[in-house]
Amino acid sequence: MMVFYECWLPNPVPRFVLFAHDSGEIVRTTSLEAFKQEVSRIPAGGTLRCFNTCAGGTHSGLDPSILEEMEALCRQTGIVFLGGDEEIICVCA
């Protein structure tokens, strides 16, 4: 998954992107609830990886409770969440 949040915009909203490795499907939404529904489709024991960029990050200024909700959802559904600072996969340009 990637979360984008342009905090410099007048009315920023998080944008969520989820790539399903097995099907190649990419889901894009600005709805946290819709995103959580898509994440819930990952089978128990599956892994949700969080990708970010090395510079300022894709979601600087994002309300931390949003990622906390994602972690909680993963715990509840048995999905392994790799999204902490030491586990984030950085994409550098």
Contacts of 50 (CB under 8 A, 6+ apart): 1, 2, 3, 67, 81, 82, 83, 87, 88, 89
Q: Are 86 and 37 in contact (CB under 8 A)?
A: no
Check: pTM over 0.85? Answer yes or no. no
Which residue range(s) make up the domain with 22?
2-91
| Per-residue pLDDT, 91 | 62
C-alpha to C-alpha distance for 71 and 78, rounded to whole angstroms: 10
Number of domains in the chain: 1
- Report, in angstroms and rounded to the nearest whole number, the Rg of the chain calculated over CA atoms: 13
- pLDDT (0 to 100) of residue 54: 67
Higher local confidence (pLDDT), 88 or 74:
74
Evaluate whether 15 touches 58 at the Cβ level (below 8 Å): no
Q: What is the pLDDT of residues 2-58, one digit of tens each?
A: 898 888 889 999 999 999 888 889 999 999 999 999 999 999 999 998 887 766 677
Q: What is the mean pLDDT of residues 75-93?
A: 73
Q: Given this model, what pLDDT does residue 92 score?
A: 64
pLDDT at 59 over 70: yes
